[in-house]
Amino acid sequence: MEKEKEVWTCGWGVTLTDYAKAGLNTQHYKQKIRIKNNIRGSALRLQFSHKYGREALLFQKVNLSINDGKKIPVTQKGEEAIRSDAFRISYSDEIKAEVAPGDTITIEAVLAEHTVVTDAALIPNTSLFQLESEGELICEEDEEYKKEFRAIPQEFHWLVGISGIEVGTKEAVPMLAFFGDSLIQIPYWISHLMDRAFQQCPGKLTYKNGGISGNRLLSGTVELAKDIGSMNGAAGIQRMEQDIFAGQAPEWVVILEGINDIILPFQYGKLRELPKSENIIDGLKQCAALCQQHNSKAILCTLLPFQGHNCWNGISEKIRQEVNQWIRQQGEIAYLDTDAYAADTENQRCLKAQWREADGLHLNSFGGKSLAEEILKSEVIKSILDLQGAY
């Protein structure tokens, strides 16, 4: 009888952002990443992202441990010094290690001194992901970039160069992917949702986060504003293929995208780039069609309310309402009514007061957990968990 082969399966994955124009350099920079695992397997490998760098990203040393046990050196081509070459995704050598659902995988990485950082993400700690760092990332570019960096909240941490963990497993573990903007990248609701899913479906579900802060569905941001350069990524309809379907294809893709299409044109005075609702709807249809091509099921999310944000206005609100009405009425693509869950009962153009950050657009930690609890009650998510044998 032929021996069953192990397959590399995504245990955790994020999309790193293009910070090439920010001029980030490392200074005694170390990062310690702790990730909750939900796959049973006998091997691991790390994914390194350096898609936007012109020079290699260098790690002096990377170690991995399971449940704070023995530290295992991570190598690449047999060498402990990791070289993540420019313009590509690369992997470590296979790491022989038994892992089980509920295990915590810890990665400790020391970056080489004065290494130029291009691929990174700002992420808060959650129940599924914690990051500690020592040293600094120095921003050497103009004052506009430095202003952006000074405004970063203390609860956010720089994840640099490491974009995923894959587990070698003989079990078929389906994936739930999330795609969109900062409402995806800041994973308060996703982490709580998946933590609950892991508890209900141990060893039977994994996930990947394909969010980029500031991302737009229809347009990239390189041409939009000099100060943010390409940090907000290519248009969602263009990057979805690479960021979601490269490698293991997910069984389901939750799509929450489009709010920046109706915010950034007002924020940067580029009203010629403001789309009509039918343009956003067409973009969502394109994303859903791409999912279908990969035998994945799209799950659309209604656009969350954001009155209170400094760029909110009646024009953008009308577009948001029209897009949401289409999502609710179209009848072909599954959806989560995140707008209805998150809207204030007194003023449905606003997020609930206890759920929102001061900018009126983003969910705080409590809001994320609360939204996840509402989503867990939805028939769409209940059917996924039931399919995995949730108890």
227 and 142 housed in the same domain: no
User: Quick one: how many helices (H) and strands (E) in the chain?
Assistant: 10, 20
207 and 223 housed in the same domain: yes
136 and 242 housed in the same domain: no
Question: Is 304 inside a domain boundary?
Answer: yes
Span 233-277, pLDDT tens digits:
999 999 999 999 998 999 999 999 999 999 999 998 889 999 999
CA-nearest of 209, 234, 215, 182 to 362 is: 182
129 and 261 housed in the same domain: no
Q: Which 8-state DSSP code applies to residue 273?
A: G
207 and 325 housed in the same domain: yes
Total structural domains in the chain? 2
Q: What is the mean pLDDT of the chain?
A: 92
Span 91-105, pLDDT tens digits:
999 999 999 999 999
Determine the structural domain holding residue 79 and report its residue range: 23-168
Question: Is 10 inside a domain boundary?
Answer: no
Q: Which pTM value belongs to this model?
A: 0.95
User: Please, which pLDDT band fits residue 224 given cuts at 50, 70 and 90?
Assistant: very low
Please enumerate in sequence order all residues whose Cβ is within 8 A of that of 367, keeping only pairs 6 or more positions apart, or say none: 188, 189, 342, 351, 352, 354, 355, 356
30 and 122 housed in the same domain: yes
319 and 344 housed in the same domain: yes
pLDDT at 312: 97
| Domain end among 126, 143, 168 | 168
78 and 100 housed in the same domain: yes
CATH number of the domain at 254, please. 3.40.50.1110
| Domain end among 104, 139, 168 | 168
- Mean pLDDT of all residues in 81-91: 92
184 and 122 housed in the same domain: no
Question: Is 83 inside a domain boundary?
Answer: yes
Question: Is 210 inside a domain boundary?
Answer: yes
Question: Is 4 inside a domain boundary?
Answer: no
| The pLDDT of residue 12 is above 50 | yes
111 and 185 housed in the same domain: no
| Domain end among 153, 168, 183 | 168
Query: Phi-psi bin for 18: left (phi > 0), alpha (psi -120 to 50), beta?
Result: beta
106 and 161 housed in the same domain: yes
134 and 247 housed in the same domain: no
Strand 88-91 and strand 41-50: the pairing is antiparallel
Question: Is 348 inside a domain boundary?
Answer: yes
Question: Is 316 inside a domain boundary?
Answer: yes
